[in-house]
Chains A and B, each alone.
Chain A
């Protein structure tokens, strides 16, 4: 049964001549799981918001949007509970201070009776397994828990359609998979219609019924996932957001059915390529003699009563090296970076930057021509009302970065996209002319294209001799970028190695490509590694020639 139908929808923001959305027509059946993808700025978010009456942006809307065969623009048609909407940021979507109040909020708004609200909350809390949070303050929850709460607070209104606008982009991979799994469960168990956009499509594409690709405000294609992903060959911007199996399929010029997840990807490889024990030739690891950043047996805790966050942490990063610290959320990675950058002082142990104790850098000399730090929340860098003012002393750096900064100069920093915001902040930080750059979770909240661009920037910085130390839980990004990686667990680095060895040694904490090629090829970590190996071992009877 058709639940949502969009007929010849066009939309233009006020004061803009070109339409952001053009001739959009499609329909969605009840119970479908639809994934909407496309490069940043293609109009995904605008389209999603147009479907939700209360969130429609101001501007010129033409065409019709029918929900259950009724035009949603009719004044008396209230779809606030029938269409649920979950947004990106876990923190800002929460309205009230306690979990119970947050769950009740929507039901209060639609004027539901108290007894009924109590019942609904009991149901939803039990279903989501969050009864034990009931009395908690929302500030005590983790990012993933907050997002689950946001989902529950929308689901409590029993919507027919659930719209999710990049719901996991601020979460770590574990929390993101949990979240997507919950959405899938809702879709399967209640035949809830789901329309979702995501930066990371690894988990989403395989469970979607249909995929829609938008490009410059138009529908490029809309159909079965394996069909759609095999069509988007030419637009490489989209490819990098796809699951690794899809990327591999395109990289080796695959034909026929496109694999979507690791299992299919493995089958695809086995069917088309021969196993091999010969690994790719690797450059021997050589490092400079001088140590850029050294942490020696560092202990740290935030207050006397709290447990140690860093516990015998030692680390040596050589000059000119790109070093990634990987680990799960809340393990203390960010704190480690805070110690390295002199924000916090350890209670025991030594931290040296270029051989000199961090404490001996007086009067900010550490932050001039020496060390710079790009935080996870890049908004903390911005002070001014326009990008131009923000970059007053950093224009030189900004022009070196691969983006069109002039177009942005008159904009407010908060009006930029995630990727642009990050580049502006990076330019500003680089104007300190650092020899060491510290990056905290640099891929959080940015799309695949920006990620790729960031990887190139880091490589360019390396070529200029700048040492880069980053913490992340994005294994694909680390595999693409790092010279060496360290695994951070319980307050210290438990293992470290050059990137390729590091990921091939890990069984669980590794890239999808590595999991796909386990015991088939050795040391294939990135899509390009694997493609290269595949092309050397083509199976005669396979479809790839």
Chain B
């Protein structure tokens, strides 16, 4: 690979991107170029954060079994749209994060977003969705001891993060629609209410139905094959 096969270069990037390039982009975008640059800044920062997270995981060695489980869960996210309108991406990402770990959660969320957009259309929103879903999975992994206590905590986590996800995506919509303003944002949120409701509801339903059996299945696999 020509681009970043060099591990030294990789390391340099890993340090410069979060500490130099991202702040610089924000600074340049907000203070030097006068108009509209938050659009570009938000896009650039998202892409860089995404790259950073994903390549950060690459340092750790992951066993083949964990990798397979991640890919299985990613594929299930796409295949699992068995009930029209409802998508299980959030639910499965959360479940993966809790049982297999934050890293897998991030990968499943991010890749499921990417692949699902192959079917529903790629756009400038793809990186945002990837980052958002990835983070939902990552945090599910980090909070897993707490989340594992009860199914209802998991359901609450999935629903709340799903709502936050929607609200953030509305910010993004407004940014693209011609500059941020409180009225516009409110309008966007109101306009998106049906979508947000369906989305939260589907997260809730999927988590209620799936969290227990999927948890059992994943735990069995972990036990049987020592993942």
Instruction: State yes or no: do A and B touch (Cβ within 8 Å).
Output: yes
| Chain A contacts to B: CB under 8 angstroms | 58, 385, 412
| Whole-angstrom CA separation of A258 from B85 in the bound complex | 66
In contact, A385 and B216 (Cβ under 8 angstroms): yes
Q: Which residues of B contact A412 (CB under 8 A)?
A: 220
| Whole-angstrom CA separation of A412 from B221 in the bound complex | 11
Interface 1/0s, chain B 199-227, versus A by CB < 8 A? Answer: 00000000000000000100010000010
| Whole-angstrom CA separation of A58 from B225 in the bound complex | 9
| Whole-angstrom CA separation of A510 from B226 in the bound complex | 47
| Whole-angstrom CA separation of A385 from B212 in the bound complex | 13
| Chain B contacts to A: CB under 8 angstroms | 216, 220, 226
Q: Which of B216, B220, B226 is within 8 Å of A58, CB to CB?
A: B226
Q: Which residues of A contact B216 (CB under 8 A)?
A: 385
| Whole-angstrom CA separation of A412 from B217 in the bound complex | 11
Prevailing SS type, chain A contact patch: loop
Question: Which chain B residue has the least Cβ–Cβ distance from A412?
Answer: B220
Question: Which chain A residue has the least Cβ–Cβ distance from B71?
Answer: A95
Question: Which chain A residue has the least Cβ–Cβ distance from B68?
Answer: A95
Prevailing SS type, chain B contact patch: helix
| Whole-angstrom CA separation of A58 from B216 in the bound complex | 22
Can you list 4 pairs linking A and B with CB atoms under 8 Å apart?
A: A58-B226, A385-B216, A385-B220, A412-B220
B60 to chain A, nearest CB (A): 17
For the complex of A and B, list the 4 residue pairs with the smallest distance between their C-beta atoms, beginning with the closest: A58-B226, A385-B216, A412-B220, A385-B220
A47 to chain B, nearest CB (A): 20
Question: Which chain A residue has the least Cβ–Cβ distance from B1?
Answer: A114
| Whole-angstrom CA separation of A412 from B226 in the bound complex | 17
Q: Which residues of A contact B226 (CB under 8 A)?
A: 58
Question: Which chain B residue has the least Cβ–Cβ distance from A415?
Answer: B224
| Whole-angstrom CA separation of A412 from B216 in the bound complex | 12
B4 to chain A, nearest CB (A): 15
A352 to chain B, nearest CB (A): 33
| Whole-angstrom CA separation of A58 from B220 in the bound complex | 16
| Whole-angstrom CA separation of A398 from B216 in the bound complex | 27
A384 to chain B, nearest CB (A): 10
A293 to chain B, nearest CB (A): 32
| Whole-angstrom CA separation of A58 from B224 in the bound complex | 10
B113 to chain A, nearest CB (A): 18
Q: Which residues of B contact A58 (CB under 8 A)?
A: 226
A525 to chain B, nearest CB (A): 44
| Whole-angstrom CA separation of A385 from B219 in the bound complex | 12
Q: Which residues of B contact A385 (CB under 8 A)?
A: 216, 220
Q: Which residues of A contact B220 (CB under 8 A)?
A: 385, 412
| Whole-angstrom CA separation of A128 from B216 in the bound complex | 43
A148 to chain B, nearest CB (A): 23
B221 to chain A, nearest CB (A): 10
A53 to chain B, nearest CB (A): 14
Question: Which chain A residue has the least Cβ–Cβ distance from B216?
Answer: A385
A262 to chain B, nearest CB (A): 43
| Whole-angstrom CA separation of A405 from B108 in the bound complex | 39
Question: Which chain A residue has the least Cβ–Cβ distance from B225?
Answer: A58
| Whole-angstrom CA separation of A385 from B226 in the bound complex | 19
| Whole-angstrom CA separation of A412 from B219 in the bound complex | 14
A97 to chain B, nearest CB (A): 10
B1 to chain A, nearest CB (A): 8
B84 to chain A, nearest CB (A): 20
Question: Which chain A residue has the least Cβ–Cβ distance from B67?
Answer: A95
A317 to chain B, nearest CB (A): 35
Question: Which chain B residue has the least Cβ–Cβ distance from A58?
Answer: B226
| Whole-angstrom CA separation of A37 from B216 in the bound complex | 37
A55 to chain B, nearest CB (A): 11
| Whole-angstrom CA separation of A412 from B220 in the bound complex | 10
| Whole-angstrom CA separation of A385 from B216 in the bound complex | 9
A271 to chain B, nearest CB (A): 54
B182 to chain A, nearest CB (A): 46
Question: Which chain A residue has the least Cβ–Cβ distance from B217?
Answer: A385
| Whole-angstrom CA separation of A385 from B214 in the bound complex | 12
A414 to chain B, nearest CB (A): 9
| Whole-angstrom CA separation of A190 from B220 in the bound complex | 43
A14 to chain B, nearest CB (A): 10
B2 to chain A, nearest CB (A): 10
Question: Which chain B residue has the least Cβ–Cβ distance from A114?
Answer: B1
| Whole-angstrom CA separation of A385 from B220 in the bound complex | 10
B66 to chain A, nearest CB (A): 14
B222 to chain A, nearest CB (A): 14
B46 to chain A, nearest CB (A): 27
| Whole-angstrom CA separation of A264 from B27 in the bound complex | 85
Question: Which chain B residue has the least Cβ–Cβ distance from A385?
Answer: B216
A160 to chain B, nearest CB (A): 23
| Whole-angstrom CA separation of A385 from B221 in the bound complex | 12
| Whole-angstrom CA separation of A58 from B223 in the bound complex | 12
B125 to chain A, nearest CB (A): 25
| Whole-angstrom CA separation of A389 from B220 in the bound complex | 17
| Whole-angstrom CA separation of A385 from B223 in the bound complex | 14
B72 to chain A, nearest CB (A): 11
Question: Which chain B residue has the least Cβ–Cβ distance from A109?
Answer: B64
B6 to chain A, nearest CB (A): 14
| Whole-angstrom CA separation of A182 from B227 in the bound complex | 36
